[in-house]
Chains A and B, each alone.
Chain A
Amino acid sequence: MKKFLIAAGALVSALSANAALAEDDTIKVGVLHSLSGTMAISETTLKDTVLMMIDEQNKAGGLLGKQLEAVVVDPASDWPLFAEKARELIEIEGVDVMFGCWTSVSRKSVLPVIEELASVPLFYPVQYEGEESSKFVFYTGAAPNQQAIPAVDYYLEELGVESFALLGTDYVYPRTTNTILEQYLLDAGIAAEDIFVNYTPFGHSDWQTIVSTVKDLSASGKKVGVISTINGDANVPFYKELANQGISAEDIPVVAFSVGEEELSGLDTGPLVGHLAAWNYFQSAEADVNDEFVETWQSFIGNDERVTNDPMEATYIGFKLWAQAVEAAGSETYADWRPEIYGMSVPNLTGGEATMLPNHHLTKPVLIGEIQDDGQFDIVSQTTEVPGDAWTDYLAASATRMSDWADSEVDCGNYDTETGECFGQNY
Chain B
Amino acid sequence: MLRLLTLLVALIILSPAWASAQSLGDILASRSDDLAAGKTATIKEIAADVAATRDPQTRDVLEGWIDGRLHYRRSDNLIVFADKTDSGYDLSDPITGDALGSVGKKDTKKVKNSTPIKAILRPGLAALDLSSVDPEKRLSAAEQISKKPTVQSLALLEQALATETVAGVQSALETAALIATFAVSDAADKLAALETMGDRLEPSVRGAVQRVANDKNEAPEITEAAQARLASIETRVALNNFGNNILFGLSQASVLLLSAIGLAITFGVMRVINMAHGEFVMIGAYTTFVVQTSLPVSSGVGLLISIPIAFAVAFIAGVILERLVIRFLYGRPLETLLATFGVSLVLQQSFRLIFTPQNRPIVTPDWLAGNLSLNPILGITTPRLFVFGIALAVFFGLLLFLQRSRFGLEMRAVTQNRAIAKTMGINSSRVDYLTFGLGSGIAGLAGAVLSQVLKTNPDMGTDLIIPSFMVIVVGGVGSLWGALVGAGLVGMATKLVEPLFPNNTLLATAIILVAVIGFIQFRPRGLFAQKGRSAEL
Q: Does B505 count as interface, using CB distance less than 8 angstroms?
A: yes
Count CB-based A-B contacts (< 8 Å).
160
Residue pair B207, A245 in contact (C-beta under 8 Å): no
Q: Does B72 count as interface, using CB distance less than 8 angstroms?
A: no
Residue pair B359, A159 in contact (C-beta under 8 Å): no
Q: Does A208 count as interface, using CB distance less than 8 angstroms?
A: yes
Residue pair B358, A265 in contact (C-beta under 8 Å): yes
B304-339 residues with Cβ-Cβ distance < 8 A to A are none
Q: Does A396 count as interface, using CB distance less than 8 angstroms?
A: no
* Stretch of A193-201, A398-406, A417-425 contacting B (4+ beta carbons < 8 Å): A193-201
A216-265 residues with Cβ-Cβ distance < 8 A to B are 216, 218-222, 233, 236-237, 240-241, 243-246, 249-251, 253, 262-263, 265
* Stretch of B437-445, B476-484, B492-500 contacting A (4+ beta carbons < 8 Å): B492-500
- List residues of chain B with CB within 8 A of the CB of A274: 115, 118
- Given known contacts A221-B211, A233-B459, A241-B381, A215 and B203 CB-to-CB distance under 8 angstroms: yes
A166-211 residues with Cβ-Cβ distance < 8 A to B are 170, 196-201, 203-206, 208-210
- List residues of chain B with CB within 8 A of the CB of A372: 68
- List residues of chain A with CB within 8 A of the CB of B498: 209
Residue pair A208, B251 in contact (C-beta under 8 Å): yes
- Per the bound structure, the CA–CA distance linking A241 and B203 in Å amounts to 18
Q: Does A380 count as interface, using CB distance less than 8 angstroms?
A: yes
- Given known contacts A236-B454, A237-B455, A159 and B358 CB-to-CB distance under 8 angstroms: no
The residue that B206 contacts in the complex, of A44, A197, A219, A236, with Cβ under 8 A, is A219
Q: Does B235 count as interface, using CB distance less than 8 angstroms?
A: no
Residue pair A221, B214 in contact (C-beta under 8 Å): yes
- List residues of chain B with CB within 8 A of the CB of A271: 369
Looking at the assembled complex, report how far the CB atom of B448 sits from the nearest CB atom of chain A, in whole angstroms. 16
- Per the bound structure, the CA–CA distance linking A41 and B348 in Å amounts to 12
Residue pair A197, B352 in contact (C-beta under 8 Å): no
Indicate with 1 or 0, residue by residue over B47-80, a CB within 8 angstroms of chain A CB atoms: 0000000000000000000001000000000000
Looking at the assembled complex, report how far the CB atom of B140 sits from the nearest CB atom of chain A, in whole angstroms. 11
- Given known contacts A159-B115, A250-B115, A205 and B463 CB-to-CB distance under 8 angstroms: yes
Q: Does A407 count as interface, using CB distance less than 8 angstroms?
A: no
Q: Does B417 count as interface, using CB distance less than 8 angstroms?
A: no
Residue pair B505, A208 in contact (C-beta under 8 Å): no
- List residues of chain A with CB within 8 A of the CB of B363: 268, 270
- On chain B, which size bracket covers the interface? 35 or more
Residue pair B114, A233 in contact (C-beta under 8 Å): no
Residue pair A40, B352 in contact (C-beta under 8 Å): yes
The residue that A218 contacts in the complex, of B203, B453, B499, with Cβ under 8 A, is B203
Q: Does A38 count as interface, using CB distance less than 8 angstroms?
A: yes
Nearest residue, chain B, Cβ from A234: B455
- Per the bound structure, the CA–CA distance linking A200 and B204 in Å amounts to 27
Nearest residue, chain A, Cβ from B509: A201
- Given known contacts A210-B505, A240-B453, A243-B369, A44 and B357 CB-to-CB distance under 8 angstroms: yes
Chain B contact residues, majority secondary structure: helix
Residue pair B455, A236 in contact (C-beta under 8 Å): yes
Indicate with 1 or 0, residue by residue over B478-519, a CB within 8 angstroms of chain A CB atoms: 000000000000000011001100111110010000000000
- Per the bound structure, the CA–CA distance linking A233 and B364 in Å amounts to 18
- List residues of chain B with CB within 8 A of the CB of A209: 245, 248, 495, 498-499, 505
The residue that B506 contacts in the complex, of A200, A220, A244, A269, with Cβ under 8 A, is A200
- Per the bound structure, the CA–CA distance linking A36 and B349 in Å amounts to 7
B99-133 residues with Cβ-Cβ distance < 8 A to A are 110, 112, 114-116, 118-119, 122
Residue pair A216, B361 in contact (C-beta under 8 Å): no
A139-182 residues with Cβ-Cβ distance < 8 A to B are 158-159, 170
Residue pair B248, A205 in contact (C-beta under 8 Å): no
Indicate with 1 or 0, residue by residue over B121-149, a CB within 8 angstroms of chain A CB atoms: 01000000000000000000000000100
Nearest residue, chain A, Cβ from B182: A221
Residue pair A199, B463 in contact (C-beta under 8 Å): no
Nearest residue, chain B, Cβ from A201: B506
- List residues of chain B with CB within 8 A of the CB of A208: 248, 251-252, 381, 384, 495
Q: Does B15 count as interface, using CB distance less than 8 angstroms?
A: no
The residue that B371 contacts in the complex, of A204, A222, A246, with Cβ under 8 A, is A246
- List residues of chain A with CB within 8 A of the CB of B248: 206, 208-209, 212
A27-49 residues with Cβ-Cβ distance < 8 A to B are 36-38, 40-41, 44
Q: Does B415 count as interface, using CB distance less than 8 angstroms?
A: no
- Given known contacts A237-B453, A266-B457, A198 and B463 CB-to-CB distance under 8 angstroms: no
- List residues of chain A with CB within 8 A of the CB of B362: 268
Residue pair B40, A158 in contact (C-beta under 8 Å): yes
Nearest residue, chain A, Cβ from B368: A244
Q: Does A370 count as interface, using CB distance less than 8 angstroms?
A: yes
- List residues of chain A with CB within 8 A of the CB of B361: 265-269
Q: Does A296 count as interface, using CB distance less than 8 angstroms?
A: no
- A41-B358, A233-B455 known; 10 other A-B pairs, CB under 8 Å? A40-B357, A199-B503, A199-B506, A200-B505, A209-B498, A213-B499, A216-B377, A244-B371, A378-B114, A380-B112
Q: A residues touching B (Cβ–Cβ < 8 Å)?
A: 36-38, 40-41, 44, 158-159, 170, 196-201, 203-206, 208-210, 212-213, 215-216, 218-222, 233, 236-237, 240-241, 243-246, 249-251, 253, 262-263, 265-271, 274, 370, 372, 378, 380-381
Q: Provide 24 A-B residue pairs closer than 8 Å at the C-beta atoms, listed in order of the A residue.
A: A36-B349, A36-B352, A44-B357, A159-B115, A159-B116, A200-B506, A205-B255, A205-B454, A205-B455, A206-B255, A208-B252, A216-B241, A220-B207, A221-B207, A221-B209, A222-B207, A244-B370, A245-B371, A245-B381, A246-B371, A253-B115, A265-B358, A268-B364, A381-B40
Q: B residues touching A (Cβ–Cβ < 8 Å)?
A: 40, 68, 110, 112, 114-116, 118-119, 122, 147, 203-204, 206-211, 214, 237, 241, 244-245, 248, 251-252, 255, 349, 352, 356-364, 369-371, 377, 381-384, 452-459, 463, 494-495, 498-499, 502-506, 509
